[in-house]
Amino acid sequence: MTALLEVSGIEKSFGGIRALNGCSLTVERGMIHGLIGPNGSGKTTLFNVLTGYENPDAGEVRLDGVVITGIGPGKVFRLGIGRTFQLTRVFIRLSVLDNMLIAAQHQHKWLRSALRSPGQGGERAKAMELLDFVGIARLAELEAGALSYGQRKLLELAYLLMADPDVLLLDEPAGGVNPTLINQLADKIKELNSAGKTILVVEHNMEFVMGICGRITVMHQGRALLTDVPAAVRSDPRVLDAYLGGAEDEGLEAEAVRTEGGSK
């Protein structure tokens, strides 16, 4: 296995708060890699740094050996990292299909893109195929704002796939999604993984994480505490300590309750 995504010594502060404090981790090619940790441990900030939404104060991120820190979110996406957001972000006043087509725009030269009509050259067909893959093809002509929360998550995943990224960063894909859909989602993620995608997933639903991930990194106070296979992480005393002890005293159980309570 080779390293696809290397994070080394990332530091990021917001005012007096150190969100990331020398965070380093390696995601291997073809892996479903889980990222867990108590609230405030820096998981989402790390995602923001990885995808160019935040510039780190120190440290660097490499994708396949190339440094991608500080190049901005658009370029990171072009280089093959697609990410979903904890609170889904779809274009609510565009149709589901148009949402899909937006993610394909970067593949064209800017001036030509101004003149062509969206969806040409097989893009529309590809969009419909991917919507079918996540199971919302029948909603293609609907305004995205009319979708349920879970459907929006599926749409967000589907439109990322329009660009065929090598790496998918999923920020709480199962949060607020009903149990049936969670299982479907897990299947889709596994399917994408066996199709060659490397996946980094932040998730509080432990069953979900343990079920799909080949490696898990536990974040604690802006650092990667440990990285191991799910069984080892489950029994490691430091993990329980991170969740139950320390400054952030939101326990594993509390997390589980919160996740379930948030689902519709």
Partner 1 sequence: MAILSAKAKPISKGKAAVVVAAIAVIAVFPLVFTNPAVTEIAIFALMFMATSEAWNGFAGWSGYFSLGHAVFFGVGAYTFAIIANDYKLPAGSGLFLLMPVAGVVAMVAAVLVGAVALRTKRHTFVVITIGVFFIFQLLGYNLSITAGASGLQVPTPYNWNAATFNNPFYYAAAILLGFTVGLYWIIRRSAFGLQLLAIRDDEERAKGLGVPVWRVKLSAFVISSFPVGMAGALFAFLIGQIYPNTVFNPLFDLSWALMTLVGGIGTIAGPLLGGVVLESVQQYLNLYLSNADIYLIVYGVVFLAVMFWMPRGVVPTVGDALRRRRGAGEATIAATNNGGTDSSSEGKATGSLAGVVQEGGK
Smallest separation (angstroms) from partner 1 to the CB of 94: 6
Q: Which residues contact 27 (CB under 8 A, 6 or more apart)?
A: 3, 4, 5, 6, 33, 167, 198, 200, 215
Smallest separation (angstroms) from partner 1 to the CB of 200: 16
Using the rule CB under 8 A, is 108 a contact of partner 1?
yes
Chain centroid to Cα 103, Å, comes to: 16
Smallest separation (angstroms) from partner 1 to the CB of 47: 11
Identity of residue 4: L
Q: How many CB atoms lie within 10 A of CB 14?
A: 10
Q: How many CA within 13 A on the CB side of residue 242?
A: 23
DSSP-based three-state secondary structure for 248: coil
Q: Which stretch binds partner 1 (CB under 8 A): 33-41, 59-67, 82-90, 212-220?
A: 82-90
**Residue list 194-213, contact with partner 1 (CB under 8 A):** none
**Residue list 134-173, contact with partner 1 (CB under 8 A):** 140-141, 143, 145-146, 149, 159, 163
- The span from the CA of 27 to the CA of 34, in Å, is 10
Nearer to partner 1, 197 or 223 (CB): 197
Interacting residues with partner 1 (CB under 8 A): 51-53, 72-78, 83, 85, 87-95, 97-98, 101-103, 105-106, 108, 110, 113-120, 124-125, 128, 140-141, 143, 145-146, 149, 159, 163
